[in-house]
Amino acid sequence: MNILVTGASKGIGNVIAEELKTLGNVFVTGRNENALIACNAKGFCVCDLSKDINNLVNFIKEKQIDVLINNAGEYIYNNIDDVTVEEIQRIYQTNLIAPTYLISHTVPYMKAKKWGRIINIGSISGVMGEANASLYSASKAGLLGLTKALALELAEYNITVNTINPGWVDTELGNDSIEESAFSKEEIIESIPQRRFVTPEEIARLCKYLISEDARGITGQGINLCAGLSVGI
């Protein structure tokens, strides 16, 4: 099993990569070479998904990836009338276009093996919407549409496609986004039914389960791992 985790330099991706080492060969990609080296993975590829990703595509071909975890993502908190063309392009490129392109290059190896796993890390903001984060919400919602369509397209090849939609996660990115928002951490926790942030380890263990044969019947799903945030208040 050859696994690629994007955005593995830190946070959720880093924890996912560590969790999946018992399953097979884990390869990682991200922007920070030193952080990727520290992952102690089977191999790594330095790549910025908002820019040219052809080197990562070549890496995928070389390693014959059959489990793809599209974890890398970027968040912008801004009014829609203040966003720039550059921000729009960067968010969609990183959160939706790059994952789609990477999938298109991993699927041939999965089809050849008649087995594969694609897991997209979305967001509860892509399910419910988030004011002042419209670019982020829209790009993550796009992953859900992609997931459903590809699940149908690839089902006959024993390839499953799912998206995990975390709520607030206790990571550096999660805490940074609090600073950008109009609410304090205490106010945000008060809005979450379980009164807590999700941990990266919970997401990593769910990835591990979705890769397993026990989860082979789960495909085309958006799984909300959000401490009850999607249910209501």
Whether 171 has a pLDDT exceeding 90, the answer reads no
Higher pLDDT, 152 or 186: 152
Residue 114 inside a domain? The answer is yes
Name the band, by pLDDT with cuts 50, 70 and 90, for residue 17.
very high
Instruction: Say how many domains are in the chain.
Output: 1
CB atoms within 10 A of CB 166: 26
Asked if residue 232 is part of any domain, the answer here is no
Per-residue model confidence (pLDDT) at position 190:
86
3-state secondary structure 56-82: HHHHHHHHCCCEEEECCCCCCCCCHHH
Give the domain CATH number at 111.
3.40.50.720
The pLDDT score that the predictor gives to residue 231 is: 86
pLDDT for the residue numbered 178: 64
User: What mean pLDDT, rounded, does the chain reach?
Assistant: 93
| Residue 205 belongs to some domain of the structure | yes
pLDDT at 179 over 70: no
Question: 181 lies in a domain?
Answer: yes
Q: Which residues, 6+ apart, have CB-to-CB distance to 148 below 8 Å?
A: 220
Q: Which is nearest to 38 in space by CA: 17, 58, 69?
A: 17
Domain that holds residue 78: 2-225
SS3 at position 182: coil
Cα 213 to Cα 196: distance, rounded to the nearest angstrom: 31
Choosing from 92, 136, 157, 209, which is the catalytic residue?
136
> Is residue 97 pLDDT above 70, yes or no?
yes
Calculate the alpha carbon distances from 180 to 20, 73, 128, 138, 174 in Å: 32, 16, 19, 18, 10
Model pLDDT for residues 211-230, shown as the tens digit of each residue = 999 999 999 999 999 989 88
Is 230 a member of any domain? no
Compute the average pLDDT of residues 123-150.
95
**Predicted pLDDT of residue 184:** 76
pLDDT at residue 30 greater than cutoff 70 = yes
CA separation for the pair 221, 111 (Å, rounded) = 20
Q: How far is CA 138 from CA 16, 31, 144, in A?
A: 24, 24, 10
**pLDDT (0 to 100) of residue 233:** 59
Q: Is the pLDDT assigned to residue 177 strictly greater than 80?
A: no
Residue 115 has pLDDT above 90, yes or no: yes
The 10s digit of each residue's pLDDT in 34-67 is 999 999 999 999 999 999 899 999 999 999 999 9
**136 a catalytic residue:** yes
